[in-house]
């Protein structure tokens, strides 16, 4: 990665999108100081992060791995979610109570006695999220949160991400699913060749053909349908719900945002 300028602000959901090897995971791994830059600055809540104070970033930024098995280590789900708190010196009874609350937040109470290794992919992702939330970070990072999940579990994880956001926690995630990015993100960052090629609202990014082409991305289906139906000149839906609203709108009223010129938001 080189010349990357990336910030996360309170109470926003940021989606990193881009082709294979574009640098999404590498950028995410800097946010909680799993990696620290060889050159340049990494600042968390005003504190410059170095090799010597990585824990400042670790406490502020929780990381939910794509491969949940790397995160789940204890014999039961409850033990696993309790583990991080006990490492912080929280007494076991209090840690268990807080772990149960975190599991309830992601609708995983019923899993508390299960063996983490035998959970399904979606269940593991939710338990991993609970294990991060219990530590009360101000930012949650999720690397490919929908990877390998069926539509129902994808929806479950997407719902929980929105609930986390509603609780005032910033969320940064990477995804190859642009429909999902359009649904959940306030801001989309397009990555290509180890850098942020451009960013903006989903509407700005997903109607920017040059930016998407530079990252080998295709627009979400709502954008393609709107264009094929000749709607994209006056309206710019990015989600299925917005497209349906445009198609069923009999008032002739204009959409929520005015069109933006191609290339808007590009660095
Ligand atoms: N520790 C490392 N040392 C050297 N190169 C690395 C290291 N980690 C990742 N890379 C390289 O950096 C590039 C970006 O990888 P990264 O995993 O960040 O991409 P990504 O956008 O998350 O891709 P994907 O969508 O395929 O998961 C790749 O070419 C990868 O091989």
In sequence order, what DSSP letters do the residues of 31-87 get, joined into one string? Answer: HTTSS--SSS--EETTEEP-GGGHHHHHHHEEEE-SSGGGT--SSSHHHHHHHHHHH
Task: Note the CATH number of domain 13-200.
Answer: 3.40.50.300
90 lines ligand 1 (CB under 6 A): no
Are 112 and 76 spatial neighbours (Cβ–Cβ below 8 Å)?
yes
pLDDT in tens, 63-120: 998 887 777 888 899 999 999 899 889 999 999 999 999 999 888 999 999 999 999 8
Phi, psi for residue 4 in degrees, rounded to 5: -85, 130
Distance from Cα 25 to the centre of ligand 1, integer Å: 7
Choosing from 2, 6, 24 the residue with most ligand 1 atoms within 8 A of its CB, the one to mutate for a pocket test is: 24
The length of the chain, given as a count of residues:
267
Q: Report the C-alpha gap between 220 and 224 in whole angstroms.
A: 7
Task: Name which of 30-44, 171-185, 229-243 the model is least confident about.
Answer: 229-243
**Ligand 1 atom showing the smallest separation from residue 194 Cα:** 14
Per-residue DSSP letters for 166-206? HTT-EEEEE-S-HHHHHHH-SEEEEEETTEEEEEE-HHHHH
* Ligand 1 atom at minimum distance from 144 CA: 27
Model pLDDT for residues 27-79, shown as the tens digit of each residue: 999 999 999 998 999 999 999 999 999 999 999 999 998 887 777 888 899 99
- ipTM for this prediction: 0.94
Q: Which atom of ligand 1 is nearest to the CA of 16?
A: 21
Mutating to test ligand 1, I would choose from 21, 174, 181, 191 the residue with most ligand atoms within 8 A of its C-beta, which is: 21
Please name the residue whose Cα sits nearest to atom 28 of ligand 1: 21
The pTM of the full predicted model, rounded to 2 decimals, is: 0.88
Instruction: Determine contact, residues 246/255, Cβ cutoff 8 Å.
Output: yes
Please list the residue range(s) of the chain that carry CATH number 3.40.50.300.
13-200
Ligand 1: nearest atom to the Cα of 19: 25
């Amino acid at each position: 990665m080189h010349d990357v300028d990336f910030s996360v602000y309170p109470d926003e959901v940021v989606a990193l999108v881009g082709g294979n090897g574009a640098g999404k995971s590498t950028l995410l791994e800097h946010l909680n100081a799993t990696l620290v830059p060889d050159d340049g600055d990494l600042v968390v809540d005003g504190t410059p992060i170095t090799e010597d104070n990585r824990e400042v970033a670790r406490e502020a930024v929780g990381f939910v791995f794509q491969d949940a098995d790397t995160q789940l280590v204890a014999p039961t789900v409850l033990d696993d979610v309790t583990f991080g708190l006990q490492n912080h010196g929280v007494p076991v009874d209090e840690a268990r109570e807080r772990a149960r609350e975190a599991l309830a937040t992601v609708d995983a109470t019923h899993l508390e006695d299960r063996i983490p290794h035998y959970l399904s992919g979606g269940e593991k992702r939710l338990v991993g999220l609970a294990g991060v939330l219990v530590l009360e970070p101000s930012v949650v990072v999720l690397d490919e949160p929908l990877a390998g999940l069926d539509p129902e579990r994808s929806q479950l994880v997407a719902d929980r991400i929105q609930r986390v956001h509603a609780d005032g926690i910033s969320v940064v995630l990477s995804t190859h699913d642009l429909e999902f990015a359009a649904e959940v993100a306030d801001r989309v960052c397009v990555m290509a060749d180890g850098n942020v090629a451009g960013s903006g609202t989903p509407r700005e990014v997903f109607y920017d053909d040059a930016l998407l082409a530079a990252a080998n991305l295709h627009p979400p289906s709502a954008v393609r349908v709107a264009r094929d139906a000749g709607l994209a000149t006056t309206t710019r839906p990015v989600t299925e719900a917005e497209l349906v609203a445009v198609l069923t709108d009999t008032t002739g009223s204009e959409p929520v945002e005015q069109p933006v010129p191609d290339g808007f938001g590009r660095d």
